[in-house]
């Protein structure tokens, strides 16, 4: 009768495998290691590593200070205002904002202090014949109208 062949698997030592991989790693990844050393040196020279060590050591105090600052009513209002301003900027037509930017740069941005002599009554009235001026005044008028309606609704219509 046939006898079974005994199969003995050698014991595997994961530590030896890791050590072998670690010994061959510098040769296999020499360029990456040199880049990593260079990056570490730059972080050290700029004192980023020291800053990170300090931040990790004081993480509880930093977190506590941040939470205290975030709970302040001013911080809550500032965050809400930032969100509203972001939404407002997102809703503005870019072409209109470009027109505003050009108008600001041509009237206020050309000199340190714009020198505009006040026009006389007749020259001011003659400027109202220009459709561009009337268009701008209509835009400002519409803005003020909508702003007034929003303020009235927000205040509960206290005063007319």
Rg of the chain over CA atoms, in angstroms? Answer: 35
Q: What are the CA-CA distances from residue 114 to residues 102, 109, 124, 125, 128 (Å)? A: 15, 8, 18, 22, 22
Tens of pLDDT along the chain (160 residues) come to 788 888 888 888 889 889 988 898 888 899 999 999 999 999 999 999 999 999 999 989 999 998 999 889 999 999 999 999 999 999 998 988 898 888 888 777 666 666 678 888 998 889 889 999 999 999 899 989 998 888 888 876 555 5
Phi and psi angles of residue 116, each rounded to the nearest 5 degrees, phi first: -125, 115
Neighbours of 139 (CB within 10 A): 13
Contacts of 45 (CB under 8 A, 6+ apart): none
Burial of 49 (0-12, 13-18, 19+ CB in 10 A): middle
Residue environment code for 90-115, b if the CB has 16+ CB neighbours within 10 A, otherwise e: eeeeeeeeeeeeeeeeeeeeeeeeee
pTM above 0.85, yes or no: no
């Amino acid at each position: 009768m046939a006898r079974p062949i005994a199969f003995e698997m050698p014991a595997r030592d994961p530590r030896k495998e890791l050590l072998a991989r670690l010994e061959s790693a510098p040769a296999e990844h020499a360029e990456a290691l040199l880049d990593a050393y260079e990056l570490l040196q730059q972080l050290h020279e700029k004192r980023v590593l020291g800053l990170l060590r300090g931040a990790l050591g004081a993480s509880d105090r930093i977190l506590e200070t941040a939470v205290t600052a975030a709970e302040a009513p001013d911080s809550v209002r500032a965050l809400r205002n930032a969100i509203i301003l972001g939404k407002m900027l997102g809703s503005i037509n870019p072409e209109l904002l470009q027109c505003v930017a050009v108008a600001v740069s041509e009237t206020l941005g050309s000199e340190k202090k714009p020198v505009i002599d006040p026009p006389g009554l007749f020259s001011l009235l003659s400027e109202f014949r220009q459709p561009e001026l009337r268009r701008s005044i209509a835009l400002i008028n519409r803005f003020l109208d909508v702003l007034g309606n929003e303020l009235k609704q927000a205040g509960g219509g206290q005063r007319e």
